[in-house]
Amino acid sequence: MIIIAVAPFVIGLDAEAHGPTPHKIDETVAIAATPEAIWALIGDFANLAKWHPLVAESAAKSDEIQGKLRVLTLKSGGQVVDGLTEYDPTKMTYSYRRVDEDVKVLPVSSYTATITVAPAAGGTASVEWIGRYYRGDTGNDPPEELSDEAATKAMTDFFQTGLRNLKSLAEHKG
Amino acid sequence: MKLLPNWRLSRLAAVVFSVASLACRASAADILYVASQNASCVSEIELGSSGEPQRIATGREPVSLALSPDGRRLFTTHPEIGQISVINAATGRVERSLSYPGTPFGIAVDADGRHIFVDDWNRDVVSKINVASGAIITEGSVGRSPAGLAADPMRRRLFTADRESDQVSVRDADTLAAVATIPVGKAPFAITFSPALRRVYVANVRSNDLTVIDADSLQVVATASVGAVPYGVAASPDGARILVSNQAAGSVSLIDARSLKILAVIKVGQYPEGVTFGSTANTAFVANWFSDTISVLDVARETEIRQIKVGSGPRSLAIGPSIGE
């Protein structure tokens, strides 16, 4: 991987947990397995490590205000904490948001996301993972590593790598 | 002098004070304006017409909208580039672009239409700007990361939702002097003033609730639970209903303003954000940020009637009269 460094000419402002421009991510994968089999893999919100190869460990936690949480230890180092916002096993979907703000671990100051298993033709399924996120530094002159591009790359890598592995796991078990 | 953040308030003022300034209204049709941040445009939808929305190209990534009391000028903030667009509603064109030394986010228009108020996400201030000169007349400090901005025309007060301070700042609209600081829920973002009930409603993104503030005593009178990740709030013109968008649930909560009971949860598009009622309480509109659509709601029947396609990333809405050229 080549990282092109651009000399920052303005000092970045402080990172906030939010910012001016949210971005969309929308990743879908078709899987030759039943929706039920796929949901059996991903339906446990807390256990992302079960199917996501970038997550070394995931632990359930609960918080008075944020509700059900998952603490993800990334293979690249550091932790990310997600809070569950919606959970509907009958529709095979859940939504969550980032609760912590450590942009060094993941250069995204905040995100919300939803993952859904949808039935497809011939007893197969598709999995759609969508989200809304903000760059790491929501000031108007973010440094390269906390820019929109860095956030988009991090989110896209995370979603695509997860879905690729989910497909592989589900199809080999199927 | 009254402070009027949008046309709906001006209609109320017209009823109460027989203000003649609305005589310029060309027709009974209402126009819904939509700021589409990712598409860098404002969509103009003529309600009651089946025509395609008109797109007004603006500067980069518009976020918040406010209409002048006479409905002739629309203002939108561009936080990424430090600009405020002034749109001529009759021609559907950006007639001027005001530069702003920061990250303008929330916006309201003064009753005379000659001044606007914006808050600054990164500098943590609210600014009063002369529209004709573009000059900042005065500024006042607020809490961290002010987002939504609402105005009470009667007492001439401004309210900002200070997202990272979990508070609402209240400022005098003439001097921007501090009036009060009100602790609310976690991460307040959207805020609206209901002139009918004289209340301010604040949607708290991280605590999934709505703080209700008495606009006279400036006390919190209630906190009502809503759906997950509430990102938009509006009050009906008669004050009886409140609408809150639940971004993570793809729904809006319709709330009885007096009992604060949830009357219905209505499914809309994905990642709903800005909401507004029509010029009556019967219709309401929701900006579905992810779906790139506007949901049209039948409020009495508590249902979505249809969705209208708009530019990518619709965030905020404003409703006003149709203005002929």
Across the interface, which of B80, B186, B247 has its CB nearest the CB of A65? B186
Q: What ipTM describes this predicted complex?
A: 0.83
Rg, Å, chain A Cα set: 17
Write out the DSSP string of B23-67: GG---S-EEEEEEETTTTEEEEEETT--SPPEEEE-SS----EEE
Which helix (DSSP H) or strand (DSSP E) does residue A42 occupy? helix A35-42
Q: Is residue A8 part of a domain?
A: no
Give A-chain residues touching B208 at CB under 8 angstroms. 85
- Residue B16's SS3 state is helix
Domain boundaries, chain B: 7-321
Joined tokens for residue B228: 């997950």
Any A CB within 8 A of B229 CB: yes
- Residue A172's SS3 state is helix
Which residues are bridge partners to B235 per DSSP?
Answer: B242
| Number of domains composing chain A | 1
Across the interface, which of A21, A24, A85 has its CB nearest the CB of B61? A21
* Whether CATH 2.130.10.10 fits B7-321: yes
Residue from A10, A14, A16, A130 to probe the interface with B (highest B Cβ count within 10 Å): A16
The structure's pTM equals 0.89
- Residue carrying the six token digits 């938009």: B232
| H-helix segments, A60-147 | none
Half-sphere exposure of B219 (CA within 13 A, CB side): 3
Per-residue model confidence as pLDDT tens for chain B (325 residues): 344 444 444 433 333 333 333 333 334 579 999 999 999 999 999 998 888 899 999 999 999 999 999 999 999 999 999 999 999 999 999 999 999 999 999 999 998 899 999 999 999 999 999 999 999 999 999 999 999 999 999 999 999 999 999 999 999 999 999 999 999 999 999 999 999 999 999 999 999 999 999 999 999 999 999 999 999 999 999 999 999 999 999 999 999 999 999 999 999 999 999 999 998 779 999 999 999 999 999 999 999 999 999 999 999 999 999 887 6
Residue from A10, A11, A85 to probe the interface with B (highest B Cβ count within 10 Å): A85
Instruction: Yes or no: say if B147 and B121 are a contact pair by the CB < 8 Å rule.
Output: yes
- Cβ pair B80:A139 closer than 8 A: no
Instruction: Label residue A26 by pLDDT band (50, 70, 90).
Output: very high
Joined tokens for residue A2: 């080549």
Q: Is residue A78 part of a domain?
A: yes
- Cβ neighbours around A38 below 10 Å, total: 27
Torsion sign over Cα B116, B119, A137, B288 = negative
pLDDT value at residue B325: 63
Q: Which domain holds residue A116?
A: 23-173
pLDDT value at residue A15: 35
Residues B108, B121: Cα–Cα separation, whole Å: 15
Distances (CA, A) of B45 to B54, B243, B267, B318: 7, 21, 22, 11
pLDDT value at residue A66: 76
- Cβ pair A65:B229 closer than 8 A: no
Q: Is residue A10 part of a domain?
A: no
> Looking at CA atoms only, how far is residue A94 from chain B in angstroms?
9
Residues B113, B115: Cα–Cα separation, whole Å: 6
Least confident of A6-10, A34-38, B293-297: A6-10
Residues A73, A61: Cα–Cα separation, whole Å: 13
Q: What is the CATH number of the domain that holds A79?
A: 3.30.530.20
Instruction: Yes or no: say if A18 and A110 are a contact pair by the CB < 8 Å rule.
Output: yes
pLDDT value at residue B4: 44
**Structure-derived torsion over alpha carbons of residues B51, B53, B56, B59, reported in degrees to the nearest 10:** -170
Any B CB within 8 A of A95 CB: yes
**Is residue A172 over pLDDT 90?**
no
